[in-house]
Amino acid sequence: MSKDYLGIIIILICLFFLVSQNTYSSSKEEDYKLQEQCGKRSEEYFKKEYNNGFSTYENIQITSHYQNHYNKKLNKCFILMETTYYNTYTKKNDSFIKDINDINENKKYGSFSRIQIDYSPITCEVSGKTCKSEEEWDKLVKPYMEE
């Protein structure tokens, strides 16, 4: 093989790596922007629905918090909200609710609810699949919040 061909091959290999690196970088940059947008939209949604996450109604204290995740595989922004209702009179958690929603489509993907900590769930469903415990619900939600 002549030196000219070898030089051309080396240049082509270098160009290939430069182009693929730039594509990968812009993809990471785009992912970051989508994650950031997801965070902002989730925060707006939570503030609109739950204000600062604390409220009181008669003798019930309501505490809510959330976590969000941009799922690259599904190209969706998910928000996972948890709300606890605490009875200040009985000094017990009266009920607990978890919901997972797609922020952009305003679509509920699943819900979990129970009355008091030691009772079976009233609602336990994710994307049409029913479950019988909070642990099962968490497993069904995990792929939406981690990929």
Which residues of the chain are modeled with pLDDT < 70? 1-26, 117-118
Residue 16 lies in a domain: no
Spatial contact of 124 and 132, defined as CB atoms under 8 Å apart: yes
pLDDT at residue 10, as a whole number: 59
pLDDT at residue 5, as a whole number: 55
Residue 27 lies in a domain: no
pTM for the model: 0.76
Residue 100 lies in a domain: yes
Residue 57 lies in a domain: yes
Ramachandran assignment for 106, one of left (phi > 0), alpha (psi -120 to 50 degrees), beta (any other): left
Residue 4 lies in a domain: no
Residue 48 lies in a domain: yes
In terms of residue numbers, what domain contains 117? 44-146
Residue 107 lies in a domain: yes
Q: How many folded domains does the chain comprise?
A: 1
pLDDT digits (tens, 9 = 90+) for 57-71: 888 899 999 999 999
pLDDT at residue 91, as a whole number: 77
Which of 53, 52, 75, 73 minimizes the C-alpha distance to 63?
53
Q: In what order do the strands lie in the sheet with 60-71?
A: 54-57, 60-71, 76-87, 92-102, 107-115, 121-126, 129-130
Which of 36, 37, 96 minimizes the C-alpha distance to 61?
96
pLDDT at residue 110, as a whole number: 97
pLDDT at residue 131, as a whole number: 95
Q: Where are the beta strands (DSSP E) in 88-120?
A: 92-102, 107-115
Spatial contact of 82 and 66, defined as CB atoms under 8 Å apart: yes
